[in-house]
Amino acid sequence: MGTPPPEHLDPDTGSYVTLAGAAARWDRVSGRLGQDLRARLVALLTVVRDPRQDTRARHFSAAKAAGLLGEALPDEFGAGGHARLVAVHQAAGRLPSVQGFTAEDFAVLLLDGHRMVGPILGPVRERLLAEPALDADEVQRGGGSPHSPDLIRLPGPGGRLRLPRFQFSEDALPWLPVLEVNALLDADHDPWGAADWWLSANAWLGGTSPVRLLGTGRDRQLVETARFLMESD
């Protein structure tokens, strides 16, 4: 997933540093982005992260977005602000990062509306979104309710909902044990945590991931393991 690096980086990568810095400083700057500025940034970042756009259009949009941030928040992203951007890193052929945050992370924060970004949570987001999934329309066509509070719904690029495929039978109806476990894990409020529980190795289950035990006659064990986890917190 994520924003593919442009084929040829612009000699001035300062625009991408600014966008990465905005992600790294999100707690400081998010409350200072007015509605109009947010709308303009969303339009530009939609182009920046779209691999179907040509490289020049993506660079131009990144520069425009960085310019808007510099004008609106000169103390953060003006000439003086750039001097305070620390831990800037750029590997060969890759876009720069600031404290482990990238321009893609800024796009996720604004376009996708969640905080699974940065050097720790960003890779988790990429891994979970790479799993097979259905969209809301596919679930509805199968007779299901994609907005059920006991289903995991992960916001993908642009905020488009992705419902991990393991939750459903072949006809897109949810497995009852999955709904029970998801309710225990509070998937409606913490979909990323619930998805990670299902898809990660679990010491209480012999080191296998819970998803591998679905349909193997161990459904009650899955439910009780999830219940134990929540009661022990």
Asked if residue 98 lies in contact with residue 20, where contact means CB atoms within 8 angstroms, the answer is: yes
Measured between its terminal Cα atoms, the distance across the chain in Å is: 32
Rounded to 10 deg, the angle between the 118-129 and 191-199 helix axes is 70
Distance between CA atoms of 226 and 233, rounded to whole angstroms?
A: 11
Residue 83 pLDDT? 54
Among candidate residues 51, 76, 52, 77, the one with its CA nearest the CA of residue 63: 77
216's tokens = 């193997």
Q: Is the pLDDT of residue 7 over 70?
A: no
pLDDT band of 233, cuts 50, 70, 90: low
Under 8 Å between Cβ of 209 and 197: no
Band of pLDDT at residue 112, cut at 50, 70 and 90 = very high
- β-partners of residue 133 are 164
* Residue 6 pLDDT: 44
DSSP summary character for residue 6? P
**What does DSSP say about strands 161-164 and 88-89: parallel, antiparallel, or unpaired?**
unpaired
Rounded to whole angstroms, how far apart are CA atoms 9 and 13? Answer: 7
Average pLDDT (176-196) is 96
Where exactly are the structural domains of the chain? Answer: 14-126, 131-232
